[in-house]
Structure 1
Amino acid sequence: MPLPLRARDAGVTLLVLLVVAVWTLVAAHYSDEPASRTALGWVLILIGCGALYFRRRQPVAVAVVTLLASVVYYPLSEQDGPLLIAFALALYTTAAEGRFAAAVALAAVTLLAVGLGEIRQQPGHRQIDDTSLAMLAGWLISLVAVGRAQRNRVAYLREVEQRALAAEREQEARARQSATEERLRIARELHDILGHSVSLINVQSGAALHRLGKNPAPEQGLATAREALQAVRDTSKEALRELRATLGVLRRADEEAPTAPASGLALLPELVERAASTGLDVRIRAEGTPVALPPPVDLAAYRIVQESLTNVTRHAGARAALVALDWGADGLRLRIEDDGAGAPEDRPAPGSGIRGMAERARAFGGELTARNIPGGFRVDARLPFTFPADKGETA
C-alpha cells in the first residue's frame, strides 16, 4: 500500500536534510570559521531543506526560498555543504508540477547570477571556471527538462487511466443494454407464444364446456369433449415446440439444439387452423410474389399475425378475420382485420401486445399501426426485406 503523499514528502525532506547535514559535518573538519557563521549556516540549511516539505503545494515559493538560502549560504559559509541539492529538487518539482515558465525563469536567474558573480571576481579569484559554468547550465536545463517530461508522463498516464475507465464504463453500459434487450426479446417471445396458446386453450375449453352444459346426448357430448381435447392437445404441443425453440438460447453448451423448424410464415396455415378451432372464421389472402425472408424477419411477421389473432380471439368477440399478405418490391405488408367490437375509444395507451408488435416491426426498419375501422379492428404492418445487421438478433 503506497504511503500518503505528505508522508512521502516528509521522508524526502528528512533524507535531503540528512545528506546535507552529514556532508557539512564532514566538511567542517577541514575548515575553520567563526561560530556565528557556522550557526547561521545551519539555520540556512534547516530553512532550505525544511522548505522541501511544501514543494508540491507551493512549488514556486519553495524553489525561491531554497535559491535564496543557497545565495546567502555559499558566500557566507566556509564549509560549502551541498545545500544546492535542495534547490535542485525544488526546481525539478516546479517543472514537474506544471510551472514550466517559473522553472525556466528560476534556472535562468540562477545561471545569470552565478555568471555575473564570477565575472566580477578579480583575475585568479574565480570559484567557477567556464567549463564548470557550462556544466551548471546543462545541469539546470536537465532538471527543468526532466521535470517537464515527468509532468507529461503523469498527464499521459492519467489520460490513459481515464480512457480505460471510460472504456470500461462504456463496455458495462453496452453489456447492460445487451442484457436488457435480450430479456425484452425473450419476454416478448414468451408473451406471444404463451399468450396465443393459452388464449386458444381457454376459448376452446370454454366453448366445449358451454356445449356440454346444454346436456347433449352422451355420444354428442363425447364427441364434443374429444374435439376440445384434441384442439387443446394440438395447441399445447405447438406451444411447447415454440417454447423449446425460444428457450434454446438459454440451454447449456452440452445440450442438443432443437431440431424442430423455427416459426415463420410457412407455419401460417397451422396458426390459422388453430385459431379456426375456436370458432373464428379465418381467411388468408396473398398478393404478389412471395420471397424468402431472412429468418428474423420471417419470425417477426409470424409473431405479428399470431399476436393479432390472439387479440381477436380474446377481446374482439369477432366471427371472422382476414390475414392479408401483400408482397411488394422492397417489403412485405401484413394486414389483419376482424369484424369484432374493436378497441375501446377511451383506452389511454395500446396494450403490451400491440406495443410488442410495433417493437418487432421497428426493429427491422418497418412500422406498425393498430386502429379501429368501420365494423372491426385492423393491424397494419410493413416489414422491409433488408434490415440493419445489428438488428438481426433482436426480433
Structure 2
Amino acid sequence: MHITPSLPLLKRVPPGAWIALVWCASTLFTLLTRVRLPGELGPEEWPAAQLYRWDGLTITVLSTVLALYGGRLLVRRPLRALALLILASVFETTNLAAGGIPMAQYLAAMLALYFIAATRPRRTAATALVMALGTLVVYEATRLLRGWGVGTSAELAVALVTAIAWLLGNSAHQARVHAERMSAQTAAQAVTAERLRIAREMHDTVAHSIGIIALQAGAAARVATTQPEAAREAMRAVETTGRETLAGLRRMLVALRAADAGDGNGNAAEAEVRPAASLEDVDRLAEATTAAGVRVEVRRVGTPRQLPPDIDLSAFRIIQESVTNVVRHSGTHACRVTVDYGDDELALEVTDDGRGHGTSTDTGFGLAGMRERVALLHGEFSAAPRPEGGFRVAARLPVPAGVR
C-alpha cells in the first residue's frame, strides 16, 4: 500500500487565504505608516483627510470586501479575481491622496498574478500580466490627463515588482511542467524496460523449449517404425515440454493482467505465480536437454548458497540460453556447464566441442540478451569460439557483500 505524504504546512493554505492575509497586512502597514510610531519624529506618510472620514472608511470597507471576494474566486475564475483585486487596490489608493498605486496596495494583486502564472495556461497568465501592468499605465495616464501629480518612479518600481512576480510564477509553472514530463518519461522508460524484460523471459523460455521439442519430434520420426516405444517416449517428452512452456506463458500473462488490474489505490493485485527460475533448476534443464539428445554435464565449484533473486534468475537464463544455442547451432552431442560460487562473484561457463559458430544463425536476441543481463548486474561477459574448437560462453556476476 502506497502512502502519499502530506503536503507541507504552507502548501495546505489555499490561495484565497494568502490573498486575504496579504491584503490585511498591507492595509495595516499603510495605516501604521501614517501615524507616528515610537522612535519617530513624525509619520512616514502624512495621512489624507479622507482616510478617517466616513466616506474614506466606506471605501476601505468596500475595497476589503472586493479583495476578499476576489481571493475566493482565484481558483475558479482567476482573471475575474485579479480584476477585483486590482479594482480594490485602485479604490484603496483614492483614500491615500498618492500619486500612484502604492506597492503595499498592489501586493495582493501581485500575489494573485503569481498564482495565475504558476498554475494556469500560458495564455491566461499573459492576459493577467497585461491586466496588471496595463492598470498601472492607465492609472498614471489618467492622472496626467487631469493635470494631477504622479509618482512615476514609485510606479515604475511597482511595475518592476509586478513583472518579477509574474516571472517567478511562470518559472514555477515551467518547473512543474518539466517535472510532469520527466515523470511521464520515467514511467514510459520503466514500461519499456519491463516489456524488454518480459520479451527476454519469453524468448529464453520459448526458444529453449521449442529447441527441445524439435529434437524430440525429429527423434520420434526417425524411430517411429523401428522403435515404437522410443518414439512414444520422445512424444511424451514433447508433450511434457509443451505443457510446461504453455503453463509458463500462462503464468506470465496472469501476472501481467494482475499488474494491469490495480485496486482503487493504484496498487497491483497480487498473483500467485510459481517462483522464478533459479540455479536450482539447472539439473532439471540438463536432464531435459540430455533426454533430447545433447548431454549436459553440470559441475559446481564452491559451496552453493542463496543468491539475490536477480542474480539467481539471470544466471539460470544465461545457462539456459547458452545450452539452447548448443542444441540449435553447435552440431555436437555434449556440452559442459560450470557454476563457480566464488567469495565475491558467481562465475558461469558453458563450453562445447561443436562447430564453434556460436549463434551466427540465431535470431539476434541470444547473445545480446545475455550480454545485457550481465551488464545490468555490472558483471563481465564473453562469448567466442575456443582455440581448440567449439564455443565458450563465460559470465562473471558480482555478488553483494551482504550475501557473500
Would the TM-score normalized by the shorter structure come out above 0.5? yes
SS of 1:369's partner is: strand
**Is 2:378 aligned against 1:365?**
yes
1:303 corresponds to: 317
1:184 corresponds to: 196
1:278 offset after TM fit, Å?
A: 1.5
Distance 2:336 2:288 in 1: 14
- The alpha-carbon distance between structure 1 residues 64 and 260, as it changes in their structure 2 partners (threshold 3 A), is closer
Deviations along 1:157-196, whole A, 9 cap, x unmatched?
0010010111011011101110110110011110001111
Contact 2:133 2:159 in 1 (8 A): no
2:217 corresponds to: 205
- The alpha-carbon distance between structure 1 residues 155 and 323, as it changes in their structure 2 partners (threshold 3 A), is same
1:352 corresponds to: 365
1:284 paired residue among 284, 287, 298: 298
Unaligned stretches of 5+ in structure 1?
A: 16-52, 75-82, 89-105, 108-139, 388-395
1:329 corresponds to: 343
Distance 1:192 1:350 in 2: 12
**Is 2:263 aligned against 1:232?**
no
1:361 offset after TM fit, Å?
A: 1.1
| 1:114-125 map, 5 Å | none
Distance 2:352 2:158 in 1: 82
Deviations along 1:295-338, whole A, 9 cap, x unmatched?
12111111111111111111111111000011111110000011
1:242 offset after TM fit, Å?
A: 3.0
2:334 corresponds to: 320
2:352 paired residue among 338, 342, 347: 338
- The alpha-carbon distance between structure 1 residues 348 and 281, as it changes in their structure 2 partners (threshold 3 A), is closer
- The alpha-carbon distance between structure 1 residues 385 and 55, as it changes in their structure 2 partners (threshold 3 A), is closer
Contact 1:244 1:258 in 2 (8 A): no
2:12 corresponds to: none
Calculate the TM-score normalised by the size of structure 1: 0.60
- The alpha-carbon distance between structure 1 residues 191 and 176, as it changes in their structure 2 partners (threshold 3 A), is same
Deviations along 1:339-394, whole A, 9 cap, x unmatched?
1112179x69992111001111111111211111122001101111129xxxxxxx
Distance 1:54 1:261 in 2: 64
Calculate the TM-score normalised by the size of structure 2: 0.59
Which is greater in Rg? 1
**% identical equivalent positions:** 40
Distance 2:390 2:177 in 1: 56
Contact 2:358 2:391 in 1 (8 A): no
The residue identity in structure 2 corresponding to 1:287 is V
- The alpha-carbon distance between structure 1 residues 364 and 248, as it changes in their structure 2 partners (threshold 3 A), is farther
The residue identity in structure 1 corresponding to 2:246 is L
| 1:1-395 map, 5 Å | 74=147, 106-107=152-153, 140=154, 143-212=155-224, 215-216=225-226, 220-221=227-228, 223-252=229-258, 257-343=271-357, 351-373=364-386, 374-386=388-400
Distance 2:310 2:240 in 1: 25
Distance 2:204 2:337 in 1: 17
- The alpha-carbon distance between structure 1 residues 348 and 248, as it changes in their structure 2 partners (threshold 3 A), is closer
Distance 2:172 2:322 in 1: 53
Q: How many residues align?
A: 274
Distance 1:54 1:178 in 2: 44
Contact 1:189 1:246 in 2 (8 A): no
Contact 1:241 1:260 in 2 (8 A): no
Distance 1:201 1:378 in 2: 24
SS of 2:382's partner is: strand
Contact 2:255 2:273 in 1 (8 A): no
1:207 offset after TM fit, Å?
A: 1.6
SS of 1:251's partner is: helix
The residue identity in structure 2 corresponding to 1:363 is L
Contact 2:296 2:334 in 1 (8 A): yes
The residue identity in structure 2 corresponding to 1:238 is E
1:56 offset after TM fit, Å?
A: 6.7
The residue identity in structure 1 corresponding to 2:198 is I
